[in-house]
A and B are shown apart, each in its own frame.
Chain A
Amino acid sequence: MKEKILIANRGEIALRIMEACEDLGVDYVVVYTKEDEESLHVRYAKEKYRICDYRDMNDLLAVADESGCTAVHPGYGFLSENFRFARRVVKRSRPLIFIGPSWEAIRDLGNKLFMKKLAKDLGIPVIPGTTEPVYNEIEAELKEEELLEELGSLGVQKPSLLVKAVAGGGGMGIEEVKSLEELRPTFRKIRAYAKRLFGDEGVIIEGKIPVFQHLEVQLLGSKHGEYVHFGTRNCTIQSPYKQKRIEIAPGFSYQETYSFDPKKVEEEIINYSIKLAKAFNYDSVGTWEWLVTPDGKFYLMEVNTRIQVENEISAKISFIENKQVNLIKEQIRVAFGEKLGYSQKDIEFKGTSIEYRLIAEDTKKGFIPLSGTITQISWPELPWLTMRTHVPQDKPYAIPTQFDPNLALAIVYGETFEETKKRGLTLLDQIIIQGITSDGKELKTNISFLKEKTEFLYKFLEA
């Protein structure tokens, strides 16, 4: 039977999945909500259905059945890391293929505390902290003392801790604690906040790594027990709210001077990532996120059991038989049970790639997201540039207010870091995004912020 994929996502990732399907000769169906009617993913799809919400499992599965789909690609965000959705897709009376890892892997690796505990058991370094939710203040104080001592013994100057809501994420429900006196009120505050917002008052306490680089390992596993990696990415440049803004691959620069051997650290974090993937029979693309300190220590932070926004910079620097890889195509192929057809030694890494996230936001005023209408978006046609956007270039586009105001991804490739950086800055000077806010003012974007931060690529930054 010919496979047909329901693309359960929107915007640029829906477009990238559509492109991968077309390259593989696989049929697909697109969904969209009323607010997204003008998005290019809707314009370019031959078969499409309007649904009530990208998070509504029933609507997605009803469309999958009606259109005769055999598989679901969740993209990123929305339901991509919801193990209940993945389980329902494969366990229903008309089962479908979930293009992602098994629902058990999503459940276990997505639970930060469980993942941390398991990683610890496997001897994988994780950020010092509690591996069970803490509910009472006395226990929290005892943990704090232990952790401050542990951080001190690791050589962290002026150690401090982060008190986090277990159910939180994306920078929500996190506060820093620098002394024992601060713990009780902070613990109470976060516990109350967690209960109010997430219905679960569990709190975790972790050591704060004051200066770091944020590295990612891009893995791919198949249903035949094969594992390869596509190197590392560096995602240290983020907004103050811990949202990524610029990513670069590979994760370390071979021209920078480090106080440690970057090749050795890279090899170790890749090996540890594969070790954890193997423990789960992980059989899809996935990203293992690490913090690396200036003295070369590294800690596993979390695992993203899906395709990442920034997957394409890894693909750009990975060559098999001199051809650049497409990780979305690889993800689809392995979900359909295909063998990889290559091994690690067949993957050659060449060049550097940078991704810029172009967003309508006011970087001078707390990175507030902006709504309005894009009247012009244009960029030069350049052989080393790949632009990914769902924003039409031929008519004004009203930014939907239900989603983040992401406008485009600019993916730049070069032979060396210096060349890629230069190309990136050239592009940022030439790219044009114009628009008006809903109250008639000029629409701001983060281009100036991206230009300024390009200079900080590969630097250790303070948290």
Chain B
Amino acid sequence: MKIEYEHLNVILQKFKANPYKIFKVNTIHTGYIREFLVKEGDEVKGPSGKWLEKPGTPLFVLEREKNLKTIRAHINGWVQNLRTDLLGRFVEAEETILEIKHPLSQQEIISEILLSALYLVKAPETAKYVLSPGLAAKIEKEGLHKVRIKKGDELLIMTFMKRETPILFKEDGVFLIYNIYFKPFQLVEREQPLIGLCPEEQLPYLEKIVSRIKEEWPI
């Protein structure tokens, strides 16, 4: 797959017009909303540090079975649509409590745009995924853009309907692993991208695209 330069301009303009992504913050389980620790419009930070060891900004406190849990921001941005009406109330799991308006970083823009340029391995089912142990070890050792895969290689293990199913690469040719779009054991909806691949000969072309985005999106 290739993106024409004209088309790349259009995509970049689209991102420039609205360089944000909205992330919902939902309750991870049931409980009472005991306290809000932010207000509408506050700036919040996601986890930081080399190993993301510094936790994100505290957002609100959820109490369940006498245990208080502070829910923190998982991404940078500004608080919006804060549900202050829920203070003191019992909420169900997956209830949206607030949104974070997140400014897209250069790396995120690159990642989004490359979705149109890479060969994508998409989730065949709504399920949990993990890289196959062999592939994960190779990527850790050699790094992205260096690990090659070919037809028949085991890419992923899918946990689906209580069974583990290996997912093999089915395309002809040799590809490089360019990007990983999921976190291990995270539930991925069907058809969402899992891995982005590119044929080895297209690597210089992708690097040109990346340089171009970096020029247009310096931060």
Can you show 17 pairs from A to B with CB atoms below 8 A apart?
A34-B93, A50-B93, A50-B95, A51-B30, A51-B93, A52-B28, A52-B30, A59-B64, A62-B30, A62-B65, A368-B163, A369-B162, A401-B125, A401-B127, A404-B161, A438-B124, A438-B190
Which one of B29, B31, B67, B93 has the greatest number of beta carbons of chain A within 10 Å? B93
Chain B residue numbers with a CB within 8 Å of A51 are 29-30, 92-93
B181 interface residue, CB < 8 Å from A? Answer: no
Q: Is B200 an interface residue (CB 8 A)?
A: no
CB contact between A49 and one of B67, B92, B165 (< 8 Å): that residue:
B92
What 0/1 pattern do residues 367 to 398 of A give for CB contact below 8 A with B?
A: 01101000000000000000000000000000
- Chain A residues within 8 Å of B127, by CB: 401
In the complex, the answer to whether B29 meets A52 with C-beta atoms within 8 Å is yes
Interface size class of B (residues with CB under 8 A): 20 to 34
**Secondary structure class of chain B's binding surface, majority of residues:** loop
Contact pick for A58, options B64, B90, B92, B190, CB 8 Å: B64
Range of interface residues on A (Cβ < 8 Å): 20 to 34
- Interface status of A61 (Cβ within 8 A of chain B): yes
Q: Which of B65, B161, B190 has the most CB of A within 10 A?
A: B161
B162 CB contacts on chain A under 8 angstroms = 369, 403-404
B95: which A residues are within 8 A, CB to CB? 50
Is B192's CB within 8 Å of the partner chain A? no
Are B93 and A59 in touch, CB under 8 angstroms? yes
Residue of B nearest to A403 (CB): B161
CA of A61 to CA of B66 in the docked complex: distance in angstroms?
Answer: 11
B93 to chain A: closest residue by CB: A52
Enumerate chain B interface residues (CB-CB to A < 8 A).
28-31, 64-65, 67, 90, 92-95, 124-127, 160-163, 165, 190
Whole-angstrom distance between the Cβ of B96 and the nearest chain A Cβ = 12
How far is B90's CA from A444's CA once the two chains are assembled, in angstroms? 42
B67 and chain A: residue at smallest CB distance? A58
Interface residues of A (CB under 8 A from B): 33-34, 49-52, 56, 58-59, 61-63, 66, 368-369, 371, 401-405, 438-439
Complex CA–CA separation, A132 to B162 (angstroms): 29
Tell me which of A33, A66, A439 has the highest count of chain B C-beta atoms within 10 A of its own C-beta: A66
| Closest Cβ–Cβ distance, residue B164 to chain A (whole Å) | 10
Residues of A within 8 A of B29 (CB): 51-52, 56, 58-59, 62
Given contacts A49-B92, A371-B160, A371-B161, contact A59 B125 (CB under 8 A): no
Given A51-B92, A59-B93, A62-B31, also A369-B163 (CB < 8 A) = yes
Asked whether B124 lies within 8 Å of A439 as measured between CB atoms, the reply is yes
How many angstroms from the CA of A61 to the CA of B65 in the assembled complex?
A: 7
| Complex alpha-carbon distance, A33 and B94, angstroms | 9
Contact residues in A for B93 (Cβ distance below 8 Å): 33-34, 50-52, 59
**A66 touching B90 by the CB < 8 A rule?**
yes
Checking A63, A371, A405 against B30 with a beta-carbon cut-off of 8 angstroms, the contacting residue is: A63
Q: Which residues of chain B have C-beta atoms less than 8 A from A369's C-beta? A: 160-163
CB pair A401–B28 under 8 Å, yes or no, is no
Instruction: Report the bound CA distance from A214 to B27 in whole Å.
Output: 45
Instruction: Collect the chain B residues with CB atoms within 8 Å of residue A63's CB.
Output: 30
CA distance A371 to B165 in the complex (A): 14
Kindly list 7 other residue pairs between chains A and B, CB separation below 8 angstroms, not including A52-B30, A368-B165. A34-B93, A58-B67, A59-B30, A62-B64, A66-B30, A368-B163, A369-B163
> Considering the chains assembled together, what is the distance between the CA atoms of A405 and B125 in angstroms?
13
Min distance, Cβ A443 to any Cβ of chain B, angstroms: 13
A438/B30 in contact, CB under 8 A: no
Give the Cβ gap from A68 to chain B, nearest Cβ, in Å. Answer: 12
